[in-house]
Amino acid sequence: MKKRLGAVLLAVAAVFTFVPVASAQGHAELTNIRTGKHDGFERIVLDMNGLPSNHQSRETGSVVNCGSGNPVPVQGNEILESVFHYAASYDENFDPTYTGPRNFSPVGLTNVKTIAFTCDFEATLGIAVGYDDPDSWHKVFTLTNPDRVVIDVYSR
């Protein structure tokens, strides 16, 4: 019994010793946020150096800051939150690569009311988009040359 317990403890210790830890190095860097109005949709473009490894997007009723848990104010009747992994607004030396606003109302858009950071911690970047039209749908995708993340919010 003691031998088996020792083997299990050794295996557990080995797993926790050799599991790689994600670092902020090698992440995509946000450099700018642009917006535009098009026929049938409004576009948010996150200009980046590199691309996030992956992302998740969800419709939600409210958002909170990933570090503090405090509510993030977002105008609009609906909220789309997208979280990008291995992405940040700083470089590997923790110098800012994006120095623009972190919670703002984009100029010239009618459906999208707010763009707000929900996370910028340990190479995880969260962006919430508040919009008014409850019949809207969205598409989040990446493009290259130059690298960028695109968030399209469509309206009927």
Q: How many residues does the chain have?
A: 156
Residue 96 scores a pLDDT above 60: yes
Closest CA to 134 of 107, 120, 113, 103: 113
- pLDDT-derived band of residue 28, with 50, 70 and 90 as boundaries? very high
User: Where does 6-136 show beta strands of DSSP type E?
Assistant: 28-38, 41-49, 54-60, 63-64, 71-72, 78-85, 87-88, 103-104, 112-121, 124-131
Average pLDDT, the chain: 87
The answer to whether the pTM exceeds 0.85 is: no
State the pLDDT at residue 25: 52
State the pLDDT at residue 23: 39
| Helices of type H across the chain | 2-18
State the pLDDT at residue 156: 75
Q: Domain coordinates of the chain in residue numbers?
A: 29-154
Per-residue pLDDT reduced to its tens digit, 104-119: 999 999 999 999 999 9
State the pLDDT at residue 26: 79
Return the higher-pLDDT residue of 16 and 134.
134
Residue 5 scores a pLDDT above 90: no
Per-residue pLDDT reduced to its tens digit, 33-83: 999 999 999 999 999 999 999 999 999 999 999 999 999 999 999 999 999
Domain 29-154: assigned CATH number: 2.60.40.3500
